[in-house]
Amino acid sequence: MLCGKMGDNTVLRDFIFQSPAPPETAAKLAARFKMIALKEQERARDLKKSSVLCEDLCLELVTVATHECDPVTLFGAVSHNDEAFIDILVECNLKEVISNPAVQSYLSYIWDGVLNWGFGHYLALIAIFVTLPPAWMILSLPTATFARYNQIPAIKYMIIAISYFWMVVLLVLTAVEPLTPVAIRTDLVPTWAEFLLVIWISGMVVSELVNRGSSGGLFDVRFGSFFLIIISFFIHLIGCFFPVNVPELLYVRNLLISVAFFLSLFAGLDFLSISGFYGAFSLIIVEIIKEIVRFSVIFIIFIISFACIITAIDKPVFARVDNNGVPPLWSRIIDLYFTIFGEAIITNLPSQSLQPAYAQTLLLLITAAFMFISVVVLLNLLI
């Protein structure tokens, strides 16, 4: 990069053009320069320029190559690591190259496969899969008869999405609205919904382990839901070997599954990335989660710090035989948290007679500062 900077990037251009696979080299260099720019801030400007140059060269090479040869041959070509060129473009996140009409046509060709269906055909197939689960199961079988269909990306995507849908339904029937109320169960013999859920989750986990390439997007959220469900299975299994209170154990198990249900619904947003309407939104879901985590850390720091100040203000100054009525630090943290949502108001000191006259004024000022910083500033940071 430094040598190319001194000669109008001639060295960088020559390096790309003289490589065995110029488009692949340009794509990987563009991604590499972009990644290094995030780590080395002092050279970020030059690195970003080099990344843009490499991406432009890759776009030009792809445009010329698609006019000279078959796009299927170009994008289906594999590297020394048996990785297709189209996968390299997607992995390197070269949006300008991927938006090329030739690339989009090839992706549409791969997505539909041998099928030439319209939107109505796919909608009808989804309706059949949802209303008739046996049809979905039969088409999912890895037999020669159905392999030509279930290996088509569009069909395979629908099969995975419907499988995820039925898993969520089984979670509801197991923990949210169990067919047999927990209060009247006297044993831990699995119901048919629980038995199906065990089989279903086993298949989903195996599928995730086999298809490791699909670990992007909300994979961590999806993995978290699977982990909680597996933990709930072990709790149920351990209860079979030890004397336990059956309703209480099932209650704890269902709490874990209900949290997994929430995570599963959230991870289901990943399937909306195929939609043009939700696609752009689903791409920023992970970033939203990161912002929520950052906000939560700052928010917790503010709550604890202000709670410590208020607790210090609330400490008795004048002697009294008993010290009842002085709330501990933990109680103040809870009060401050619910104050934000209007469920609690901190305006008076419980032990006001034991503090100086200005303590009440200090409390009001600190509470006002907390409300202003937390509600007006911190919440707006999240928005």
Tens of pLDDT, residue by residue over 366-382, are 777 777 766 666 666 65
pLDDT tens-digit map of 119-165? 777 788 778 878 877 777 777 776 666 666 666 777 777 888 888 88
Is the pLDDT at 355 greater than 70, yes or no?
no
Contact 28, 92 (CB under 8 A): yes
Give the whole-angstrom CA distance, residue 22 versus residue 61: 8
Lowest mean pLDDT among 20-34, 166-180, 189-203, 287-301: 287-301
Residue 78, strand partner residues? 84
Tokens representing 329 are: 């630090």
User: Is the distance from CB of 154 to CB of 122 less than 8 angstroms?
Assistant: yes
Mean pLDDT for the stretch of residues 260-273: 78
Q: What whole-number distance in Å separates Cα of residue 212 and Cα of residue 382?
A: 32
Cα–Cα dist 295/281, whole Å? 20
What pLDDT, on the 0 to 100 scale, is given for residue 46? Answer: 80
Query: DSSP per residue over 324-373, as a string?
Result: TT---HHHHHHHHHHHHTTS----S-TTGGGS-THHHHHHHHHHHHHHII
CA 353 to chain centre: 52
pLDDT on residue 301: 82
Task: Inform me whether the pLDDT recorded for 286 exceeds 60.
Answer: yes
User: Is the pLDDT reported for residue 333 higher than 80?
Assistant: no
Confidence of residue 319 (pLDDT cuts 50, 70, 90): low
Residues 40, 214, 220, 382, CA torsion sign: positive
Q: What is the pLDDT of residue 144?
A: 61
Task: Assess contact for 174 and 194: CB atoms under 8 A.
Answer: yes
- For 316, other C-beta atoms within 10 Å of its C-beta total 14
Each residue's pLDDT tens digit, 84-96: 887 888 788 777 7
Q: What are phi and psi of 215, to 5 degrees?
A: -90, 15
Kindly tell me if the per-residue pLDDT of 106 is higher than 50: yes
Tokens of 21: 């696979």
Show the tokens assigned to 222. 């999806």
Convert the pLDDT of each residue in 1-37 to its tens digit. 565 566 667 787 888 888 888 888 888 888 888 888 8
Per-residue DSSP letter, 189: P
Length of the chain: 383
pLDDT at 279: 47
254 vs 257: CA distance, rounded Å: 5
Q: Give buried/exposed letters for 94-117 (b at 16+ CB in 10 A, else e).
A: beebbebebbeebbeebeebeeee
Backbone angles phi, psi at 84, to 5 degrees: -65, 150
Angle, CA 142 vertex, CA 136 and CA 144 arms, to 5°: 110
Q: Averaged over 303-322, what is the pLDDT?
A: 68
**What percent of the chain clears pLDDT 90, i.e. is strictly above it?**
1
77-81, 98-102, 110-114, 241-245: least confidently modelled range: 110-114
Report yes or no on whether pTM surpasses 0.75.
no
Helices 133-140, 153-171: crossing angle, 10 deg rounding? 130
The CA distance from 64 to 165, in Å, is 43
Q: Mean pLDDT over all residues of the chain?
A: 75
Predicted confidence (pLDDT) at residue 257 exceeds the cutoff of 70: yes
**Res. 231 pLDDT band, cuts 50 70 90:** very high
Q: Encoding tokens for residue 172?
A: 């509801």
pLDDT given for residue 321 in this prediction: 46
